[in-house]
Structure 1
Amino acid sequence: MTDRGRAALRQTETEFTVGPSSLRWQGNALVIDINEISSPPMISRVRGQIRVIPSALTSVEMPLTPDGAHIWRPFAPTCDIEVNLDAPGWTWTGHGYFDANFGTRALEQDFSHWTWGRYPTGGGSTCFYDAKRLDGSELGVGIRFDAAGRAEAIDSPPPKTPFRRSLWAVARDTRADPGYQPQQVKAMLDAPFYCRSAVRTCIDGEETVGVHEALDLTRFRSPLLKPMLAVRVPRRPGWRFSD
């Protein structure tokens, strides 16, 4: 939530700390301690703890480009989550996930647009990754994960189905059974080039609500949009640990 300098980073085998916030493994739970200030227009203190408890950890790494310059790493696609923030109404439990993307090039160097979705299912979670690369090729992958973390590629994923654009008119689609119309049920984040939301869809006859992302990298490359990041993401290059 805040850009900081190298002096604000500490890392061990079990803990990763950036400024006043940190992630650490405590038994089988990933414990995330947050102490930040949110960005405009609603500037406020964000403080508390999140516990992410995976049903299992996976060893899956999925290249997003043929040369492996971009990797998706679903560490734990099926988790329980406990949220306890110091604000009224921000304490709850539910389902969640833990993943990351890694790369050796900027995303906008290789992609024009992508969508991603992670949906809880009866036996675990199902993820879909669809992307358009700048070279004209496309990525379209579906993976099922069971509760033990075993992964199975979906040979014939459900068709891509468009649904309503975001508030900033970012195009969105996700996978859904033929004839089913996905829809957003909760907004999470809207930006001119990015949208995250809770989306309802239907997979193999099972209706489910999961997290969906849409990223428009053609817009992101625009010199008119990139300066907005400096406004939305606070910078604290001089932050230092007190000890």
Structure 2
Amino acid sequence: MPPGGYSWWYVDAISDDGAHGLTIIAFLGSVFSPYYKRSGRSDPLNHSCLNVALYGPQARWAMTERTRGAVSRDEHNLAIGPSAVRWDGDVLEITIEERDKRLFNPFQRRVCGTVRVYPEALNPAAFALDPAANHVWHCLAPVARIEVEMTSPAVSWQGRAYLDHNRGREPLEAGFRTWHWSRAHLKEGAVVCYEGERSDGSLFASALRFGADGAPEPVDLPPVAQLPRSAWRIARVTRSDIGVARVRRTWEDTPFYARSELASRFAGEEVVAVQESLDMQRFASPLVQFMLPYRMPRKRG
């Protein structure tokens, strides 16, 4: 991984009963780290973390950055501090041992348990998000099952999941001003929409449909569906067959990004989608950089 680069693995899921949601992101060269940015981004591995967010009853949020000495990895295993991600045969197993961080509250609750992701379809193809291929996205498993067994908080559930990987050779804000992303499971396969504005002002937009076997196929972009701005006034945009979508829950509402659960329509099907909107100009602002350490602590040693 070059200086200034990054790599992350992302999982999201919604429980079968709709009560719970989850995102887990393993970052090497954490793109949203104020410490990585201040350091000049010379050593990506020295800024790594496992971000765990549980939504719904007994919600938790953890993102503690760790140094190079706390990271070990090989072809099938990645350990970041006391947490670990590993491929065990055909299963992605995530062992979580973290602490949550709440503003104005010094008491940190444990966030620990095991999450297992069972891909139902695998996609071998990765896609560049810019002409120079400085930023690459790879939807690894557009459709998967998940088992969540948390001991703290004490919640257990099963549901449908999604798994992807992003990597880059430069800071995210060097490539993009904004982006909007969404994914939705269909009766067979899934659909993913990506669009935004690059740092040079050029626009990009695409939609991919993944079949039941995981094979991707470009499809026509559905009409734009405007969503209400988040409480932090982040502009949210998605795509829908009829140009209309509804925010069911806002999972994350921050000064520079929002993650939401939507009711939408793709390929003639009513779907539940996960959607993200990101404003990298907001992220790079001095005020946001000042605020971030209160939410994202760094553990030394």
Regarding TM over 0.5, the answer is yes
Q: Using the aligned pairs only, state the percent identity.
A: 39
1:10-69 C-alpha deviation (Å, 9 max, x unpaired) = 112211101100011112110000000011136311000110100122112111110000
For structure 2, the 5+ residue unaligned runs are 1-62
- For 1:223 and 1:5, how far apart are their aligned partners in 2? 24
Counterpart check, 1:78 vs 2:143: yes
Partner of 2:268: 205
Partner of 2:229: 165
Partner of 2:50: none
Q: Which SS does the other structure have where 1:86 is aligned?
A: strand
Which residue type is aligned with residue 48 of structure 1? G
**Given the two structures, how large is their TM-score scaled by the length of structure 1?**
0.93
Which residue type is aligned with residue 75 of structure 2? E
Contact 2:135 2:175 in 1 (8 A): no
- For 1:62 and 1:119, how far apart are their aligned partners in 2? 18
Counterpart check, 1:234 vs 2:297: yes
Which residue type is aligned with residue 203 of structure 1? F
- For 1:90 and 1:222, how far apart are their aligned partners in 2? 37
Aligned-pair distance for 1:89? 5.9
Q: Which SS does the other structure have where 1:7 is aligned?
A: helix
- For 2:273 and 2:244, how far apart are their aligned partners in 1? 15
Higher mean alpha-carbon deviation, 116-125 vs 102-111, is at 102-111
1:140-168 C-alpha deviation (Å, 9 max, x unpaired) = 010011121111011x2101111111121
Name the structure, 1 or 2, with higher relative contact order (CA <8 Å, separation 6+).
Answer: 1
Which stretches of structure 1, 4 residues or longer, exceed 3 Å deviation after superposition? none
Matches within 5 A, 1:209-228: 209-228=272-291
Which residue type is aligned with residue 96 of structure 2? I
Q: Which SS does the other structure have where 1:224 is aligned?
A: helix
Partner of 2:182: 117
Q: Which SS does the other structure have where 2:102 is aligned?
A: coil
Which residue type is aligned with residue 176 of structure 1? S
Matches within 5 A, 1:173-212: 173-178=237-242, 180-212=243-275
**Given the two structures, how large is their TM-score scaled by the length of structure 2?**
0.76
1:96-121 C-alpha deviation (Å, 9 max, x unpaired) = 11112111111111211110001000
